[in-house]
Structure 1
Protein backbone atom coordinates (compact mmCIF):
# COMPACT_ATOMS: atom_id res chain seq x y z
CA UNK A 1 0.00 0.00 0.00
CA UNK A 2 0.36 0.61 0.00
CA UNK A 3 0.93 2.66 -1.60
CA UNK A 4 0.91 5.83 -0.64
CA UNK A 5 3.34 9.24 -2.59
CA UNK A 6 0.26 18.63 -3.85
CA UNK A 7 -1.06 21.85 -3.85
CA UNK A 8 0.20 24.77 -1.84
CA UNK A 9 -1.41 26.99 0.79
CA UNK A 10 -0.29 30.60 0.81
CA UNK A 11 1.21 31.73 4.09
CA UNK A 12 -1.64 34.16 4.85
CA UNK A 13 -4.54 31.67 4.80
CA UNK A 14 -6.56 31.72 8.01
CA UNK A 15 -9.04 28.90 7.46
CA UNK A 16 -8.06 25.54 8.91
CA UNK A 17 -6.96 23.36 5.97
CA UNK A 18 -8.54 20.09 4.99
CA UNK A 19 -6.93 17.53 2.69
CA UNK A 20 -9.49 18.23 -0.01
CA UNK A 21 -8.89 22.00 0.06
CA UNK A 22 -5.18 21.50 -0.44
CA UNK A 23 -5.23 20.28 -3.97
CA UNK A 24 -7.46 22.66 -5.87
CA UNK A 25 -4.65 25.07 -6.68
CA UNK A 26 -2.07 22.90 -8.39
CA UNK A 27 -4.59 21.15 -10.59
CA UNK A 28 -5.35 24.38 -12.46
CA UNK A 29 -3.77 24.60 -15.90
CA UNK A 30 -1.56 27.66 -16.24
CA UNK A 31 1.06 28.87 -18.65
CA UNK A 32 4.50 28.18 -17.20
CA UNK A 33 7.87 29.65 -18.15
CA UNK A 34 10.55 27.23 -19.28
CA UNK A 35 12.50 25.72 -16.37
CA UNK A 36 16.15 24.70 -16.48
CA UNK A 37 17.78 22.35 -13.96
CA UNK A 38 20.92 23.53 -12.24
CA UNK A 39 22.71 20.29 -11.46
CA UNK A 40 25.17 21.91 -9.08
CA UNK A 41 22.61 22.77 -6.42
CA UNK A 42 19.47 20.89 -7.39
CA UNK A 43 17.65 24.16 -7.99
CA UNK A 44 15.85 25.24 -11.13
CA UNK A 45 16.29 28.49 -13.02
CA UNK A 46 13.50 30.05 -15.02
CA UNK A 47 13.88 31.37 -18.52
CA UNK A 48 11.08 33.22 -20.27
CA UNK A 49 10.96 34.06 -23.99
CA UNK A 50 11.11 37.79 -23.20
CA UNK A 51 13.29 37.82 -20.11
CA UNK A 52 16.03 35.79 -18.49
CA UNK A 53 16.23 34.90 -14.80
CA UNK A 54 19.50 33.59 -13.43
CA UNK A 55 18.43 33.24 -9.82
CA UNK A 56 17.88 29.62 -8.78
CA UNK A 57 14.38 28.52 -7.84
CA UNK A 58 14.17 26.64 -4.52
CA UNK A 59 12.80 23.10 -4.59
CA UNK A 60 9.57 24.12 -2.85
CA UNK A 61 8.58 26.47 -5.68
CA UNK A 62 9.25 24.19 -8.67
CA UNK A 63 6.09 23.03 -10.50
CA UNK A 64 4.02 25.63 -8.64
CA UNK A 65 2.42 28.43 -10.73
CA UNK A 66 4.06 31.76 -9.92
CA UNK A 67 0.80 33.35 -8.73
CA UNK A 68 0.49 30.56 -6.14
CA UNK A 69 3.99 30.75 -4.70
CA UNK A 70 4.02 30.80 -0.88
CA UNK A 71 6.21 33.38 0.83
CA UNK A 72 8.14 30.71 2.74
CA UNK A 73 8.72 26.98 2.44
CA UNK A 74 5.57 25.13 3.57
CA UNK A 75 5.87 23.39 6.93
CA UNK A 76 5.31 19.97 5.38
CA UNK A 77 8.33 20.38 3.07
CA UNK A 78 10.87 21.89 5.44
CA UNK A 79 12.25 18.64 6.88
CA UNK A 80 11.78 16.40 3.87
CA UNK A 81 14.67 14.16 2.84
CA UNK A 82 17.43 15.15 0.44
CA UNK A 83 16.11 12.52 -1.96
CA UNK A 84 12.69 14.19 -1.93
CA UNK A 85 14.22 17.62 -2.38
CA UNK A 86 16.04 16.42 -5.48
CA UNK A 87 12.81 15.05 -6.95
CA UNK A 88 10.80 18.15 -6.04
CA UNK A 89 13.43 20.34 -7.72
CA UNK A 90 12.80 18.59 -11.06
CA UNK A 91 10.24 20.10 -13.46
CA UNK A 92 7.50 17.63 -14.32
CA UNK A 93 8.27 17.96 -18.02
CA UNK A 94 11.82 16.70 -17.43
CA UNK A 95 10.73 13.68 -15.38
CA UNK A 96 10.97 10.37 -17.29
CA UNK A 97 8.39 7.74 -16.47
CA UNK A 98 9.56 4.15 -16.09
CA UNK A 99 8.71 1.62 -18.79
CA UNK A 100 7.49 -1.88 -17.99
CA UNK A 101 10.90 -3.32 -18.85
CA UNK A 102 12.58 -0.85 -16.49
CA UNK A 103 10.10 -1.67 -13.74
CA UNK A 104 10.81 -5.38 -14.09
CA UNK A 105 14.56 -4.80 -13.94
CA UNK A 106 14.23 -2.68 -10.78
CA UNK A 107 12.27 -5.45 -9.08
CA UNK A 108 14.55 -8.20 -10.39
CA UNK A 109 17.65 -6.43 -9.11
CA UNK A 110 15.92 -5.48 -5.82
CA UNK A 111 16.70 -1.78 -6.41
CA UNK A 112 13.33 -0.67 -5.08
CA UNK A 113 14.75 2.69 -4.00
CA UNK A 114 14.87 3.66 -7.70
CA UNK A 115 11.11 4.08 -7.85
CA UNK A 116 10.15 7.77 -7.91
CA UNK A 117 6.91 9.70 -7.96
CA UNK A 118 6.30 12.43 -10.51
CA UNK A 119 7.56 15.61 -8.76
CA UNK A 120 4.19 17.34 -8.56
CA UNK A 121 2.59 14.08 -7.38
CA UNK A 122 5.25 13.74 -4.69
CA UNK A 123 4.37 17.25 -3.55
CA UNK A 124 0.69 16.35 -3.34
CA UNK A 125 1.57 13.17 -1.45
CA UNK A 126 3.71 14.95 1.15
CA UNK A 127 1.09 17.63 1.75
CA UNK A 128 -1.76 15.17 2.05
CA UNK A 129 0.18 12.94 4.46
CA UNK A 130 0.89 16.01 6.60
CA UNK A 131 -2.82 16.79 6.90
CA UNK A 132 -3.72 13.14 7.45
CA UNK A 133 -1.36 13.00 10.44
CA UNK A 134 -2.95 16.14 11.86
CA UNK A 135 -6.48 14.82 11.43
CA UNK A 136 -6.04 11.13 12.29
CA UNK A 137 -2.93 11.13 14.45
CA UNK A 138 -1.01 8.90 12.03
CA UNK A 139 -1.10 7.67 8.45
CA UNK A 140 -1.65 4.14 9.78
CA UNK A 141 -4.72 5.26 11.70
CA UNK A 142 -6.18 6.71 8.51
CA UNK A 143 -5.38 3.60 6.46
CA UNK A 144 -6.91 1.26 9.06
CA UNK A 145 -10.09 3.24 9.53
CA UNK A 146 -10.79 4.68 6.09
CA UNK A 147 -9.00 2.54 3.53
CA UNK A 148 -8.88 -0.97 4.95
CA UNK A 149 -11.91 -0.55 7.23
CA UNK A 150 -10.44 -3.07 9.65
CA UNK A 151 -12.01 -1.50 12.72
CA UNK A 152 -10.69 1.51 14.57
CA UNK A 153 -7.21 3.05 14.43
CA UNK A 154 -5.70 0.57 16.90
CA UNK A 155 -3.43 -1.89 15.14
CA UNK A 156 -3.64 -4.27 18.10
CA UNK A 157 -7.23 -5.01 17.12
CA UNK A 158 -6.16 -6.35 13.71
CA UNK A 159 -6.07 -10.10 14.31
CA UNK A 160 -5.87 -12.66 11.48
CA UNK A 161 -8.54 -15.31 11.28
CA UNK A 162 -6.10 -18.03 10.24
CA UNK A 163 -2.71 -18.84 8.79
CA UNK A 164 -1.19 -16.65 6.04
CA UNK A 165 -3.46 -16.56 2.96
CA UNK A 166 -5.81 -19.17 4.45
CA UNK A 167 -8.83 -16.86 4.55
CA UNK A 168 -9.77 -14.17 2.04
CA UNK A 169 -10.89 -11.75 4.76
CA UNK A 170 -7.35 -11.63 6.15
CA UNK A 171 -6.26 -9.94 2.91
CA UNK A 172 -7.37 -6.79 1.12
CA UNK A 173 -6.22 -5.60 -2.31
CA UNK A 174 -6.33 -1.87 -2.98
CA UNK A 175 -4.77 0.56 -5.43
CA UNK A 176 -1.53 2.20 -4.42
CA UNK A 177 -2.97 5.56 -3.38
CA UNK A 178 0.07 7.55 -4.57
CA UNK A 179 1.65 5.55 -7.43
CA UNK A 180 5.14 5.96 -8.83
CA UNK A 181 5.93 7.65 -12.12
CA UNK A 182 5.20 4.76 -14.48
CA UNK A 183 4.24 4.60 -18.14
CA UNK A 184 0.50 4.36 -18.88
CA UNK A 185 -0.87 0.84 -18.69
CA UNK A 186 0.96 -0.20 -15.52
CA UNK A 187 -1.45 -0.77 -12.62
CA UNK A 188 0.06 -0.59 -9.14
CA UNK A 189 -1.81 -2.46 -6.40
CA UNK A 190 -1.05 -3.08 -2.72
CA UNK A 191 -1.93 -6.35 -0.98
CA UNK A 192 -2.57 -5.67 2.74
CA UNK A 193 -2.49 -8.57 5.20
CA UNK A 194 -3.70 -8.97 8.78
CA UNK A 195 -0.91 -11.50 9.33
CA UNK A 196 2.81 -10.89 9.42
CA UNK A 197 5.19 -11.49 6.52
CA UNK A 198 8.20 -13.25 7.99
CA UNK A 199 11.56 -11.57 7.44
CA UNK A 200 15.11 -12.78 7.94
CA UNK A 201 16.39 -10.77 10.94
CA UNK A 202 19.89 -10.64 9.48
CA UNK A 203 18.99 -9.36 6.01
CA UNK A 204 15.61 -7.74 6.54
CA UNK A 205 14.41 -9.59 3.44
CA UNK A 206 11.58 -12.11 3.30
CA UNK A 207 12.34 -15.63 4.42
CA UNK A 208 12.34 -18.23 1.64
CA UNK A 209 9.17 -19.99 2.92
CA UNK A 210 7.28 -16.68 3.09
CA UNK A 211 8.48 -15.68 -0.36
CA UNK A 212 7.10 -18.98 -1.71
CA UNK A 213 3.77 -18.39 0.04
CA UNK A 214 3.43 -14.93 -1.44
CA UNK A 215 4.38 -16.17 -4.90
CA UNK A 216 1.77 -18.94 -4.70
CA UNK A 217 -0.84 -16.35 -3.68
CA UNK A 218 0.17 -14.13 -6.62
CA UNK A 219 -0.12 -17.16 -8.92
CA UNK A 220 -3.67 -17.91 -7.73
CA UNK A 221 -4.91 -14.35 -7.61
CA UNK A 222 -3.16 -12.56 -10.46
CA UNK A 223 -1.26 -14.84 -12.82
CA UNK A 224 -4.36 -16.97 -13.25
CA UNK A 225 -6.01 -13.96 -14.94
CA UNK A 226 -3.07 -11.94 -16.31
CA UNK A 227 -0.15 -13.35 -18.37
CA UNK A 228 2.74 -14.26 -16.08
CA UNK A 229 5.18 -11.90 -17.81
CA UNK A 230 2.77 -9.02 -17.09
CA UNK A 231 2.76 -9.57 -13.32
CA UNK A 232 5.46 -8.71 -10.80
CA UNK A 233 5.45 -8.28 -7.04
CA UNK A 234 7.83 -6.96 -4.41
CA UNK A 235 7.94 -6.05 -0.74
CA UNK A 236 9.56 -2.82 0.36
CA UNK A 237 12.57 -3.01 2.62
CA UNK A 238 11.75 -1.85 6.11
CA UNK A 239 13.76 1.35 5.58
CA UNK A 240 11.59 2.27 2.57
CA UNK A 241 8.20 1.63 4.13
CA UNK A 242 5.94 4.60 4.78
CA UNK A 243 3.60 2.43 6.88
CA UNK A 244 5.09 -0.17 9.23
CA UNK A 245 2.37 -1.46 11.54
CA UNK A 246 0.29 -3.37 8.97
CA UNK A 247 2.08 -5.68 6.54
CA UNK A 248 1.70 -5.31 2.82
CA UNK A 249 3.42 -6.04 -0.46
CA UNK A 250 3.13 -4.55 -3.92
CA UNK A 251 1.82 -6.04 -7.16
CA UNK A 252 2.22 -4.40 -10.57
CA UNK A 253 0.23 -5.48 -13.61
CA UNK A 254 0.94 -4.53 -17.19
CA UNK A 255 -2.14 -3.70 -19.24
CA UNK A 256 -4.55 -5.91 -17.30
CA UNK A 257 -8.24 -6.20 -18.10
CA UNK A 258 -9.87 -3.23 -16.28
CA UNK A 259 -12.78 -5.44 -15.27
CA UNK A 260 -10.39 -7.84 -13.53
CA UNK A 261 -8.82 -4.94 -11.64
CA UNK A 262 -12.27 -3.71 -10.55
CA UNK A 263 -13.11 -7.23 -9.42
CA UNK A 264 -9.94 -7.90 -7.45
CA UNK A 265 -10.00 -4.45 -5.75
CA UNK A 266 -13.78 -4.57 -5.21
CA UNK A 267 -14.18 -1.34 -7.15
CA UNK A 268 -11.53 0.59 -5.23
CA UNK A 269 -10.56 4.11 -6.32
CA UNK A 270 -7.06 5.35 -5.41
CA UNK A 271 -6.86 8.20 -2.96
CA UNK A 272 -5.08 10.46 -5.45
CA UNK A 273 -8.12 10.25 -7.76
CA UNK A 274 -10.53 10.98 -4.91
CA UNK A 275 -8.49 14.00 -3.94
CA UNK A 276 -8.58 15.34 -7.51
CA UNK A 277 -12.35 14.95 -7.52
CA UNK A 278 -12.68 16.77 -4.22
CA UNK A 279 -14.17 13.71 -2.54
CA UNK A 280 -13.90 13.04 1.19
CA UNK A 281 -14.13 9.93 3.32
Structure 2
Protein backbone atom coordinates (compact mmCIF):
# COMPACT_ATOMS: atom_id res chain seq x y z
CA UNK A 1 0.00 0.00 0.00
CA UNK A 2 1.50 3.39 -0.94
CA UNK A 3 2.13 5.93 1.81
CA UNK A 4 -0.10 8.95 1.96
CA UNK A 5 1.55 12.08 0.54
CA UNK A 6 -1.46 14.37 0.90
CA UNK A 7 -1.31 17.28 3.31
CA UNK A 8 -4.13 16.06 5.60
CA UNK A 9 -3.83 12.83 7.57
CA UNK A 10 -6.83 10.52 7.07
CA UNK A 11 -8.93 10.95 10.22
CA UNK A 12 -9.68 7.25 10.31
CA UNK A 13 -6.00 6.40 10.70
CA UNK A 14 -5.52 8.71 13.69
CA UNK A 15 -8.78 7.56 15.27
CA UNK A 16 -7.89 3.88 14.89
CA UNK A 17 -4.47 4.32 16.44
CA UNK A 18 -5.75 6.55 19.24
CA UNK A 19 -8.33 3.96 20.21
CA UNK A 20 -5.60 1.35 20.62
CA UNK A 21 -2.96 3.65 22.09
CA UNK A 22 -1.85 3.33 25.71
CA UNK A 23 0.43 5.64 27.67
CA UNK A 24 3.26 3.12 27.32
CA UNK A 25 2.99 3.36 23.53
CA UNK A 26 3.46 7.13 23.30
CA UNK A 27 7.24 7.15 22.92
CA UNK A 28 7.66 3.84 21.10
CA UNK A 29 5.70 4.00 17.83
CA UNK A 30 7.57 1.09 16.23
CA UNK A 31 6.71 -1.27 19.10
CA UNK A 32 3.15 0.07 19.17
CA UNK A 33 2.59 -0.70 15.50
CA UNK A 34 4.11 -4.15 15.86
CA UNK A 35 2.11 -5.06 18.96
CA UNK A 36 -1.15 -4.08 17.31
CA UNK A 37 -0.49 -5.82 14.02
CA UNK A 38 -0.07 -2.58 12.10
CA UNK A 39 2.66 -1.50 9.72
CA UNK A 40 4.26 1.79 8.81
CA UNK A 41 2.29 1.67 5.54
CA UNK A 42 -0.81 2.66 7.53
CA UNK A 43 0.83 5.95 8.46
CA UNK A 44 1.42 9.07 6.37
CA UNK A 45 5.16 9.36 5.73
CA UNK A 46 5.59 12.30 8.10
CA UNK A 47 4.48 10.25 11.13
CA UNK A 48 6.90 7.34 10.68
CA UNK A 49 9.72 7.27 13.30
CA UNK A 50 7.89 9.95 15.31
CA UNK A 51 6.63 9.36 18.90
CA UNK A 52 2.83 9.44 19.08
CA UNK A 53 3.00 12.44 21.41
CA UNK A 54 4.54 14.44 18.54
CA UNK A 55 2.11 13.44 15.77
CA UNK A 56 0.44 16.19 13.78
CA UNK A 57 -2.69 15.96 11.66
CA UNK A 58 -1.03 17.96 8.89
CA UNK A 59 2.30 17.47 7.18
CA UNK A 60 4.87 19.88 8.69
CA UNK A 61 5.85 22.68 6.34
CA UNK A 62 9.48 21.53 6.18
CA UNK A 63 8.41 18.15 4.81
CA UNK A 64 6.04 19.37 2.11
CA UNK A 65 6.89 19.11 -1.59
CA UNK A 66 9.70 16.63 -0.98
CA UNK A 67 11.02 14.62 -3.95
CA UNK A 68 9.93 10.96 -4.16
CA UNK A 69 13.33 9.74 -2.91
CA UNK A 70 12.95 11.68 0.33
CA UNK A 71 9.34 10.63 0.82
CA UNK A 72 10.30 6.99 0.40
CA UNK A 73 13.13 7.37 2.90
CA UNK A 74 11.00 9.24 5.46
CA UNK A 75 8.34 6.53 5.18
CA UNK A 76 10.85 3.84 6.17
CA UNK A 77 11.13 2.85 9.85
CA UNK A 78 14.67 3.25 11.12
CA UNK A 79 14.58 -0.41 12.13
CA UNK A 80 14.17 -1.36 8.45
CA UNK A 81 16.95 0.86 7.16
CA UNK A 82 20.14 -0.89 6.01
CA UNK A 83 23.25 1.26 6.33
CA UNK A 84 25.42 1.41 3.23
CA UNK A 85 28.62 -0.61 3.56
CA UNK A 86 32.16 0.45 2.68
CA UNK A 87 31.95 -1.68 -0.47
CA UNK A 88 28.79 0.17 -1.50
CA UNK A 89 30.43 3.51 -0.74
CA UNK A 90 33.37 2.58 -2.97
CA UNK A 91 31.07 1.51 -5.79
CA UNK A 92 28.92 4.66 -5.54
CA UNK A 93 31.95 6.95 -5.71
CA UNK A 94 33.70 4.88 -8.39
CA UNK A 95 30.67 5.09 -10.69
CA UNK A 96 29.86 8.70 -9.69
CA UNK A 97 26.30 7.67 -8.75
CA UNK A 98 26.25 10.08 -5.84
CA UNK A 99 22.45 10.18 -5.97
CA UNK A 100 22.44 6.69 -4.43
CA UNK A 101 23.62 8.03 -1.09
CA UNK A 102 20.82 8.50 1.43
CA UNK A 103 20.39 9.30 5.10
CA UNK A 104 18.94 7.29 7.97
CA UNK A 105 15.19 8.15 7.82
CA UNK A 106 14.93 9.86 11.22
CA UNK A 107 18.18 11.75 10.54
CA UNK A 108 16.86 12.94 7.17
CA UNK A 109 13.83 14.35 8.98
CA UNK A 110 16.06 16.18 11.49
CA UNK A 111 18.23 17.48 8.64
CA UNK A 112 15.26 18.88 6.70
CA UNK A 113 13.80 20.49 9.81
CA UNK A 114 17.13 22.06 10.78
CA UNK A 115 17.77 23.37 7.27
CA UNK A 116 14.36 25.08 7.31
CA UNK A 117 15.21 26.72 10.64
CA UNK A 118 18.62 27.85 9.35
CA UNK A 119 17.12 29.44 6.23
CA UNK A 120 14.55 31.28 8.34
CA UNK A 121 17.16 32.58 10.80
CA UNK A 122 20.12 33.31 8.51
CA UNK A 123 18.46 33.80 5.14
CA UNK A 124 20.48 31.00 3.54
CA UNK A 125 22.36 27.85 4.47
CA UNK A 126 25.51 29.33 2.93
CA UNK A 127 25.53 32.30 5.30
CA UNK A 128 25.13 29.98 8.30
CA UNK A 129 27.94 27.70 7.15
CA UNK A 130 30.31 30.60 6.42
CA UNK A 131 29.60 32.45 9.65
CA UNK A 132 28.99 29.72 12.22
CA UNK A 133 30.83 26.68 10.91
CA UNK A 134 33.76 28.02 8.92
CA UNK A 135 34.37 31.33 10.67
CA UNK A 136 34.98 33.06 7.33
CA UNK A 137 33.08 36.27 8.04
CA UNK A 138 29.48 36.94 7.01
CA UNK A 139 29.66 35.53 3.51
CA UNK A 140 30.62 38.67 1.60
CA UNK A 141 32.69 38.34 -1.55
CA UNK A 142 35.65 39.88 0.25
CA UNK A 143 35.40 37.38 3.11
CA UNK A 144 35.47 34.50 0.64
CA UNK A 145 38.22 35.79 -1.61
CA UNK A 146 40.99 33.16 -1.70
CA UNK A 147 44.55 34.17 -0.91
CA UNK A 148 45.90 32.05 -3.74
CA UNK A 149 45.18 29.30 -6.24
CA UNK A 150 43.69 25.88 -5.56
CA UNK A 151 45.25 24.20 -2.50
CA UNK A 152 48.05 26.78 -2.41
CA UNK A 153 47.32 28.18 1.07
CA UNK A 154 45.93 26.37 4.11
CA UNK A 155 43.88 29.42 5.11
CA UNK A 156 41.74 28.93 1.98
CA UNK A 157 40.72 25.44 3.15
CA UNK A 158 38.75 24.12 6.12
CA UNK A 159 38.03 20.46 6.94
CA UNK A 160 34.94 19.74 9.05
CA UNK A 161 32.67 16.82 9.77
CA UNK A 162 29.64 16.50 7.54
CA UNK A 163 27.01 17.86 9.92
CA UNK A 164 24.37 15.50 8.53
CA UNK A 165 26.25 12.45 7.22
CA UNK A 166 24.77 9.83 4.93
CA UNK A 167 23.45 6.58 6.35
CA UNK A 168 26.68 4.67 5.99
CA UNK A 169 28.37 2.15 8.29
CA UNK A 170 29.25 3.75 11.61
CA UNK A 171 32.97 2.97 11.24
CA UNK A 172 33.14 5.38 8.27
CA UNK A 173 33.92 9.03 9.03
CA UNK A 174 32.29 11.52 6.65
CA UNK A 175 34.18 14.82 6.27
CA UNK A 176 33.71 17.88 4.07
CA UNK A 177 36.59 19.92 2.66
CA UNK A 178 35.44 23.54 2.20
CA UNK A 179 37.47 25.85 -0.05
CA UNK A 180 37.44 29.55 -0.88
CA UNK A 181 38.72 28.80 -4.38
CA UNK A 182 36.63 27.30 -7.14
CA UNK A 183 37.02 23.83 -8.59
CA UNK A 184 35.90 24.31 -12.20
CA UNK A 185 33.40 22.16 -14.05
CA UNK A 186 33.58 20.88 -17.59
CA UNK A 187 30.60 22.57 -19.33
CA UNK A 188 30.14 19.52 -21.54
CA UNK A 189 29.67 17.08 -18.64
CA UNK A 190 28.76 19.21 -15.62
CA UNK A 191 31.43 17.30 -13.72
CA UNK A 192 34.87 18.42 -12.55
CA UNK A 193 37.45 19.17 -15.18
CA UNK A 194 40.31 16.71 -15.44
CA UNK A 195 42.67 19.31 -13.99
CA UNK A 196 40.42 19.98 -10.99
CA UNK A 197 40.01 16.26 -10.35
CA UNK A 198 43.77 15.77 -10.44
CA UNK A 199 44.29 18.68 -8.02
CA UNK A 200 41.80 17.21 -5.54
CA UNK A 201 43.37 13.77 -5.87
CA UNK A 202 46.81 15.18 -5.06
CA UNK A 203 45.42 17.03 -2.04
CA UNK A 204 43.57 13.95 -0.74
CA UNK A 205 46.64 11.79 -1.16
CA UNK A 206 48.86 14.27 0.70
CA UNK A 207 46.37 15.14 3.44
CA UNK A 208 44.59 11.89 4.20
CA UNK A 209 46.47 8.98 2.67
CA UNK A 210 49.60 9.82 4.62
CA UNK A 211 47.73 8.77 7.78
CA UNK A 212 45.01 6.44 6.45
CA UNK A 213 45.57 3.52 4.07
CA UNK A 214 44.68 4.67 0.52
CA UNK A 215 42.19 1.81 0.10
CA UNK A 216 40.30 3.20 3.14
CA UNK A 217 39.83 6.64 1.60
CA UNK A 218 37.32 7.85 -1.01
CA UNK A 219 36.32 11.33 -2.11
CA UNK A 220 33.64 12.84 -4.32
CA UNK A 221 32.03 16.14 -5.16
CA UNK A 222 28.26 16.36 -5.37
CA UNK A 223 26.64 17.18 -8.67
CA UNK A 224 25.29 20.74 -8.69
CA UNK A 225 21.73 19.40 -8.46
CA UNK A 226 22.59 17.58 -5.22
CA UNK A 227 24.44 20.36 -3.42
CA UNK A 228 22.80 21.78 -0.30
CA UNK A 229 25.19 24.77 -0.31
CA UNK A 230 25.53 25.90 -3.92
CA UNK A 231 27.55 29.10 -3.55
CA UNK A 232 30.46 27.69 -1.57
CA UNK A 233 32.88 25.15 -3.03
CA UNK A 234 33.30 21.87 -1.19
CA UNK A 235 33.90 18.17 -1.68
CA UNK A 236 33.45 15.11 0.48
CA UNK A 237 35.98 12.68 1.94
CA UNK A 238 35.11 9.38 3.63
CA UNK A 239 37.59 7.52 5.80
CA UNK A 240 37.10 3.95 6.92
CA UNK A 241 38.23 3.24 10.49
CA UNK A 242 40.67 6.16 10.75
CA UNK A 243 42.61 7.01 13.88
CA UNK A 244 40.25 9.33 15.77
CA UNK A 245 43.18 11.42 16.99
CA UNK A 246 44.03 12.14 13.35
CA UNK A 247 40.42 13.16 12.66
CA UNK A 248 40.41 15.50 15.66
CA UNK A 249 43.67 16.98 14.40
CA UNK A 250 42.57 17.72 10.83
CA UNK A 251 39.13 19.01 11.91
CA UNK A 252 40.56 21.06 14.77
CA UNK A 253 38.34 19.20 17.23
CA UNK A 254 35.13 19.73 15.25
CA UNK A 255 31.86 18.16 16.43
CA UNK A 256 29.10 17.66 13.81
CA UNK A 257 25.78 19.40 14.33
CA UNK A 258 23.91 16.10 14.39
CA UNK A 259 25.57 15.40 17.74
CA UNK A 260 24.73 18.84 19.12
CA UNK A 261 21.11 19.49 18.21
Q: Under TM normalisation by the shorter chain, which class is it?
A: 0.7 to 0.9
Aligned to 2:180: 194
2:164 is the counterpart of 1:167 = no
Equivalent-residue separation in structure 1 for 2:111 and 2:253 (angstroms): 22
User: Is the Cα–Cα contact under 8 Å of residues 30 and 49 in structure 2 kept in the other structure?
Assistant: no
Taking the TM superposition and a 5 Å limit, the aligned residue runs for 1:1-281 are 30-34=27-31, 47-50=33-36, 52=38, 56-155=42-141, 157-275=143-261
CA drift at 1:81: 1.6
Q: What runs of 5+ residues in structure 1 fail to find an aligned partner? A: 1-28, 35-45, 276-281
Higher RCO (Cα < 8 Å, 6 or more apart): 1
Equivalent-residue separation in structure 1 for 2:192 and 2:211 (angstroms): 25
More strand by proportion, 1 or 2? 1
Equivalent-residue separation in structure 1 for 2:232 and 2:34 (angstroms): 48
Equivalent-residue separation in structure 1 for 2:84 and 2:41 (angstroms): 31
Equivalent-residue separation in structure 2 for 1:227 and 1:190 (angstroms): 19
Equivalent-residue separation in structure 2 for 1:243 and 1:195 (angstroms): 15
Q: Relative to 1, partners in 2 of residues 1:195 and 1:92: Cα closer, same or farther, differing over 3 Å?
A: same
More helix by proportion, 1 or 2? 2
**What's the secondary structure of 2:106's corresponding residue?**
helix
User: Is the Cα–Cα contact under 8 Å of residues 155 and 245 in structure 1 kept in the other structure?
Assistant: no
User: Is the Cα–Cα contact under 8 Å of residues 172 and 241 in structure 2 kept in the other structure?
Assistant: yes
User: Is the Cα–Cα contact under 8 Å of residues 90 and 218 in structure 2 kept in the other structure?
Assistant: yes
Equivalent-residue separation in structure 2 for 1:183 and 1:62 (angstroms): 22
Equivalent-residue separation in structure 1 for 2:37 and 2:84 (angstroms): 34
CA drift at 1:32: 2.7
Q: Deviations over 1:81-107 (max 9, x none)?
A: 221111101110101001111100110
**What's the secondary structure of 1:214's corresponding residue?**
helix
User: Is the Cα–Cα contact under 8 Å of residues 27 and 53 in structure 2 kept in the other structure?
Assistant: no
Q: Relative to 1, partners in 2 of residues 1:53 and 1:82: Cα closer, same or farther, differing over 3 Å?
A: closer
Q: Deviations over 1:182-213 (max 9, x none)?
A: 11210000000000001101101111111111
Aligned to 2:13: none
CA drift at 1:154: 2.6
User: Is the Cα–Cα contact under 8 Å of residues 155 and 246 in structure 1 kept in the other structure?
Assistant: no
CA drift at 1:80: 1.7
Equivalent-residue separation in structure 2 for 1:98 and 1:83 (angstroms): 16
User: Is the Cα–Cα contact under 8 Å of residues 233 and 252 in structure 1 kept in the other structure?
Assistant: yes
Superposition misfits of 4+ residues, deviation over 2 angstroms: 29-34, 46-56, 153-157
